Chains A and B, each alone.
Chain A
Amino acid sequence: MTKDIIVKAVDVTKLYGPFTALDKVNLEIAKGEVCCIIGPSGSGKSTFLRCINQLEKMNSGAIWVNDELVGYRREGNNLHEINDADMARQRRRVGMVFQRFNLFPHMTALENVMEGPVQVLKEPVAEVRKRAEDILARVGLSDKISHYPSQLSGGQQQRVAIARAMCMRPDLILFDEPTSALDPELVSEVLDVMKDLAASGMTMIVVTHELGFARNVANTVAFMEAGKMVEIGPASEVLTSPKSPRTAEFIKAVHS
């Protein structure tokens, strides 16, 4: 049985002037898979994640989401950048959760969650409202739906941000260090929501420093360093008996 491939990245390379941020990174994610990308800061994890929905432009390489080439269109022997409207259409299929939440401060929690489906997907307001309320209940925020982001704690804001991504009913959700900006006591409430989401079958790519979460929830763990994909494999293997000595050193350093 062949697995449905949701994300396929081939030789993704990104340069910042003379600095190579991503060096021929390859990745393949199947439907329903949870992949954690770990590695030291500056290793290119976030940059790679942001290439998947083209918030970051690549210098070479290509990424497919659901078998559709992301951000470019083939014309002869070149890949041409697609226009704004097509790019926006592709991004609807990919949710994203940011380190700094990036909720819209002039909208309530409910309005934040409804904004995409109503404004972008043009779904009927009543239907979206019902779904948004259900999702906010699922992340444990039924009593906060009319609060503005400034009235919520970091953990609550991040859960609204996850709800905002979920309400678009995307094919996959990207998490860019979702707990790194949180006070330590608020980390677990966000991880619990993510765990629940993973259990429901959502495809997730998570850039994180939470090795415990990776061990308990991820199917696949990828270790990146200096812009390279050093090692990728089943979570239990990579975290307990890594093949690369660099991976082993990193895991040891995080645990000590």
Chain B
Amino acid sequence: MSTADVTSSTNDQKYEIAHLKLVPKRHIGRMIAAAIVLLILAAIVRAFSVGQIEWSYVRDFLFAPAILDGLKSTLIMTVAAMGLGIILGVVIAIMRVSGNPVLSSIAIGYVWIFRGAPALLQLMIWFNLALIFPTMGIPGLFEFRTVDIMTPFVAAMLGLGISQGAYTSEVVRSGLLSVDSGQYEAARAIGMTQFKMLRRIVLPQAMRVMVPPIGNEVIGMVKLTSLASVIQYSEILHNAQIIYFANTRVLELLLVACFWYLVVVTLLSIGQYYIERYFGRGSKSITASM
């Protein structure tokens, strides 16, 4: 009966317009916004091109040995500090979820302190540790002068790595919590030990949740290593500064450093895409997009 109604109504003059062409609405607002943004962008580009920048200096110093050495140190520090951060992050996260009240409280305290204090301040504390502990070691076994071991590299690695551990532990913890309890039961039911269950079933699934934020943190760490320039660690920004103190081409050298940071971050982002795709296997959203 309702179908009959519809058929008869199509003959009705009023409904003839059903055959007209449908035209999407015009987004006038969007066009204006795009024009404004493009205009601002053009103004910025122009400002840089007519500004007092000696582009020849940028070109000449792009591959200068001091800059490339600095780049190498930046990468080494990123790997060292992030490696320490991930190891501490996993240990602290497992302590936190262990169910042992002492370990769990210590994990909470660790995150509170090292996430709370600014990273730059932590670096400076490590670097100046000799002021309160002239020597370090285990009495009777061995002893060092603090100034000998607390080099800029060690101080930067400890400062950046330990504060990173506080952030990474929260990422690892959320990864562990994201795995369904049924997965633990299924792993136990086929006779897996706790360790095998973590390695084969839980961590591979937790990784899917952990990789995007950890990738984010690695990229953050690349840039955070620039803080180490403050304690005389000769990473790229520190070396760029040394050069511009001598030749006064401040902005040119800062642009050189900026260029290399962008190169590294771009490469890392591409790597992250592939790692995410690997750990996302079997999940619907990833397979659909491939």
Contacts and interface: CB of A to CB of B under 8 A. Distances in A.
B281 A91 contact: no
Contacts of B200: 115, 119
Contact of A102 (B185, B279, B281, B283): B185
Contacts of B208: 106
Contacts of B185: 55, 96, 98, 102
Interface stretch (B102-110, B146-154, B191-199): B191-199
B66 interface: no
A103 B190 CA distance: 12
Contact of A96 (B180, B189, B196, B205): B189
B284 A106 contact: no
Interface stretch (A62-70, A143-151, A240-248): A143-151
Contacts of B201: 104
Nearest to B194: A84
A60 to B, nearest CB: 22
B190 A115 contact: yes
A168 B193 contact: no
B192 A119 contact: yes
Interface in A45-89: 53, 55, 84-85, 88-89
B216 interface: no
Contacts of A119: 192, 196, 200
B196 A103 contact: no
Given A105-B282, A119-B200, A150-B283, A89 B191 contact: yes
A88 B193 contact: yes
Given A105-B282, A106-B282, A150-B284, A95 B189 contact: yes
Interface string B80-103: 000000000000000000000000
Given A107-B282, A119-B200, A151-B287, A102 B190 contact: no
Contacts of A165: 189-190
- Chain B interface extent, by class: 20 to 34
Contact of B204 (A98, A103, A106, A150): A106
Given A148-B281, A151-B287, A103 B186 contact: yes
B282 A116 contact: no
B182 interface: yes
B183 interface: yes
Contact of A92 (B190, B279, B287): B190
Contacts of B283: 105-106, 150
Contacts of A215: none
Contacts of A106: 204-205, 208, 279, 281-283
B145 interface: no
B5 to A, nearest CB: 34
B30 to A, nearest CB: 37
B284 A120 contact: no
A202 to B, nearest CB: 16
16 contacts: A55-B185, A85-B193, A88-B188, A90-B191, A98-B185, A102-B180, A102-B183, A104-B186, A105-B282, A106-B279, A106-B283, A116-B191, A120-B191, A150-B284, A164-B190, A168-B191
Interface of B: 180, 182-183, 185-194, 196, 200-201, 204-205, 208, 279, 281-284, 287
Given A106-B279, A148-B281, 14 more contacts: A88-B196, A91-B188, A96-B189, A102-B186, A104-B183, A104-B186, A106-B204, A106-B283, A108-B282, A150-B284, A150-B287, A151-B287, A164-B190, A165-B189
